[in-house]
Amino acid sequence: MKQIIFSMPRFPLRQSSLATSVASAIVIALPIASAANLVNAQTTPTPQKSETTSSPQRVEPIIVTGNPFERASAGLPWSVLSGDEFAQRQSGTLGETLSGLPGIASTYFGPNSSRPIIRGLDGERIRVLENGASSVDAASLSFDHAVPIDPISIERIEVLRGPSALLYGGGAVGGVVNAISNRIPRSEFRTPTFGLQAQFGGAERVATGAIRADATLGAITFHADASRRETQDLRVPEFAKPDGEKAKRIVNSALEASSGAFGFSRVTPGANGGFIGASFDTYRSTYGVVVEPDVTIDLKRDKLMIAGEQKLGNSFFNLLSAHFAQTRYEHKEIEGSGEVGTVFKNRGREWRIEGKTAQYGPWRSVIGASGESTRFSADGEEAFVPPTKSTNAAIFAKQDGRFGNSLVAFGARFERSRVSASEVLDDEGESRFGAADSKRLNLLSGSFGLTQKLSNALTLHSNLSYSERAPSYFERYADGVHVATAAYERGDRSLPKEKSTHLDVGLAWQSGAFKTQFTAFTSRHRNFVSLDATGEDFVEDSETFPIYQFRAVPARFYGAEWEANWRAFGGESDGSSTLDLGLSLDTVRATNRLTNEPLPRIAPTRATFTASYRVSGWHLRGQVIHAAKQDRIPSVERFANDAGDGTTKAYTMVNLSLSRDIQIGRINGSAFVKLVNLTNELGYNASSIRTVRELSPLPGRGVRAGVELTF
């Protein structure tokens, strides 16, 4: 393991001296303010047992992502996965764990690498966070690069869709995914708390386990966790490959992964309390690349994070919070002979500061600053992007006010972004990617939201935003064969900043045992950066690769999400059995307005029906998922081979699960068994690039069992 050396963050925005000075002052002041309160707390009796001790759910039950005012009725289109539902949805990747929630799909490169897609937007337009800090990796560079977060090591996931993701950057135009754990404890555990989790089986024959521990010793609260996951090649229904060969498994899709973390904090309870702490976590995995039977990826990621929060009573800022994270990421692409082909590295630093004001009349505000710096390099025969450095610094503010039955919210964000590429010379002394280059952009984003209670049962919510995004390093500078996707990818140095306007409008109804929510959304993009097939081929050493080009095009997205839930009978309060029925539907259409052709890799219309029956600690759940045919694809992708014609056929999958609550003394938890894809239906992920999709269908029939205990 390489050593990580901590230093104070380097602020990349030299021109904004005011923002830098304010940021520096708060970073220095936060631990001092916290320390002062800790000294005062020495004379205050410490509670013998906190509320957290008695509950296995250690994270506060509020939606923290994108909702700094902690108002659950803010009218935001959000989703939360936690508890029993989270345990049963867990996959080996973040994308597949979330896929199927309203408006959320995923890229799919076999069972080991996928990223979330929200409302048709993916890659750099989705901000993936871990405890509020950016996940520094190379996942957005390529579909085969995994996000180094194992869902089994986290406690819940929050997803924010649409324009309300302003606080996390103008680039997060699709939304934010925040994986939350307790690695830096925010509250005390006077009684030590332990957790165990294990799962096995399924179409990938997974064997996975995780342990965690939290305890307060003296004045310090500690956390530790570790996990291990192993899978075999994924079993799927029989399918035809592009060359006509029949198969029932995805070759080279096995995985071995492990993670571990240690964290601690000093917590001060009370009205002027807070916490300050640090954590170190590590993630390692080795998995196969499904388009190359003899290539594996050896990935490692180490991360140091320092975070704190301090309540300040009746000051202008009644709450200050800050974090700093430093990450070292590396993965090697290893040939079948054991030779290392290409090494990808990414080094990142991030800082973030937020101050929340006290209530002034109907208004509350949050004001903050953030900065991020990453250094990326690829070294080897398959490097298709030059070494680059990306920096970003921003100031932002958001305000909301309640006026009777109306809640209004608005905000703005200013960013300074810079991307630089180094020159690389080949063996003949020729420039491999062109001359050194640097691009600096100023980015401005803003949003306005309204939540209006129309009656006791009916609420209207709407959000309007404008965002600007800087093209990423690989969208600008990629130029070479990308073996993992079996394509030649070409960037464009002249790409302008991407500008987009977003609107969503929704209605939520809740009356008695029935509740439903419908949201319609639309967005128009100027200079939308799209990776498109050109119809041309690149030939190298008798191998042919289709050429894909990053292009700026005008684009439009629109769609809708609908959820309805009804308790058919029963009530938890009287201990009787309950039956809950649920139905959800989502659809999105994306069009290149220049050619009037569909944009590639858009999920089809999907419908999900669930029935959940609970009685005496037992929980029986059935789920039917239907995905419509996706035939809205660019004409350049319409060609026939033995695997198909480029479209994806409709499919219907049936899942069943049975779980049992466990409560024995201080031991709480649940055990479950789940049957996935009961009918062994063949299905393909329309959001995958075609060269990968036709080699990796969705999982076939499998039985998975698991247990989760807290004591």
Domains of the chain by residue range? 17-710
Is pLDDT of 74 > 70? no
Nearest to 299 by CA among 245, 342, 241, 265: 342
Determine which of 108-117, 194-203, 357-366 has the lowest per-residue pLDDT on average. 108-117
Q: Which fold has domain 17-710?
A: Maltoporin; Chain A (2.40.170)
- Cα–Cα distance measured from residue 501 to residue 42, given in angstroms and rounded to the nearest whole number: 52
Mean pLDDT in residue range 328-332: 91
pLDDT band at 221, cuts 50/70/90?
very high
Q: Work out whether the CA dihedral 62, 65, 71, 77 comes out positive or negative.
A: negative
pLDDT at 563 (0 to 100): 93
Can you give the pLDDT at residue 164?
Answer: 59
Lowest mean pLDDT among 100-114, 354-368, 592-606: 100-114
Q: What is the pLDDT of residues 567-581, one digit of tens each?
A: 998 875 566 899 999
Distance CA 158, CA 176 (A): 8
Task: Report the range of poorest mean pLDDT among 7-11, 177-181, 473-477, 690-694.
Answer: 7-11
Q: Give the model's pLDDT for residue 22.
A: 31
C-alpha 710/C-alpha 449 separation (Å) is 40
- Pull the structure tokens for residue 370: 């953030």
pLDDT digits (tens, 9 = 90+) for 380-409: 877 889 999 999 999 999 888 999 999 998
Handedness of CA 233, 238, 241, 244 (dihedral sign): positive
Over 70: is that where the pLDDT of 183 sits? yes
Task: Round to whole Å and give the CA distance between 159 and 66.
Answer: 9
**What percentage of the chain has pLDDT greater than the value 70?**
86
Confidence at residue 477, expressed as pLDDT on a 0 to 100 scale: 92
Task: Work out the angle at residue 286's Cα, subtended by the Cα atoms of residues 280 and 287, and round it to the nearest 5 degrees.
Answer: 135
Q: How confident is the model at residue 70 (pLDDT cuts 50, 70, 90)?
A: low
Residue that is written with structure tokens 């939304």 in the block: 175
DSSP result, 225-293: EEEEEEE-PPEEEEEE-TTS-EEEE-TT--EEEEEEEEEEEEEE-STT-EEEEEEEEEEEEEEEETTEE
Quote the pLDDT of residue 88: 74
Alpha-helical runs (H) found in 422-571: 473-477
- Between 564 and 96, the more confident residue is 564
Instruction: Kindly report the average pLDDT of the chain as a whole number.
Output: 84
How sure is the predictor about 72, in pLDDT bands with cuts at 50, 70 and 90? very low
Query: Of 679, 657, 683, nearest to 670 (Cα)?
Result: 657
pLDDT band at 50 (very low <50, low <70, confident <90, very high): very low
Does position 512 have pLDDT exceeding 90, yes or no? no
Is the pLDDT score of 655 beyond 90? yes
Residue 222 scores a pLDDT above 90: yes
Task: Give the pLDDT score at 65.
Answer: 58
Residue 66 has pLDDT above 70, yes or no: no
Alpha-carbon distance 535 to 552, whole Å?
17
| Arithmetic mean of pLDDT, 71-86 | 66
pLDDT of residue 434: 85
Segment 286-305 shows an average pLDDT of 90
pLDDT at 30 over 70: no
Q: What is the pLDDT of residue 571?
A: 73
Of the pLDDT bands very low, low, confident and very high (cuts 50, 70, 90), residue 144 is low
pLDDT tens, 423-479? 888 777 788 888 899 999 999 999 898 999 999 999 999 989 899 999 998 899 999
Pick the residue with more confidence: 54 or 581? 581
| pLDDT above 90: residue 116 | no
What single string gives the DSSP state of each residue in 121-133? B-GGGEEEEETTE
Give the pLDDT confidence score for residue 34 in this predicted structure: 39
Please tell me the predicted confidence (pLDDT) of residue 250: 93
* Beta-strand relationship, 618-627 and 606-615: antiparallel
- Write out the two tokens for 69: 């005012």
Q: CB neighbours of 350 closer than 8 A, spacing ≥ 6?
A: 9, 133, 134, 136, 323, 324, 325, 326, 327, 370, 371, 372, 373
**pLDDT average, residue stretch 88-113:** 82
pLDDT value, residue 429:
77
Q: Is the pLDDT of residue 10 over 60?
A: no
Does the pLDDT at position 27 exceed 70? no
Distance CA(100)–CA(149), nearest Å, equals 19
- Can you read off the two tokens belonging to residue 701? 């029939």
**By percentage, how much of the chain surpasses pLDDT 90?**
51
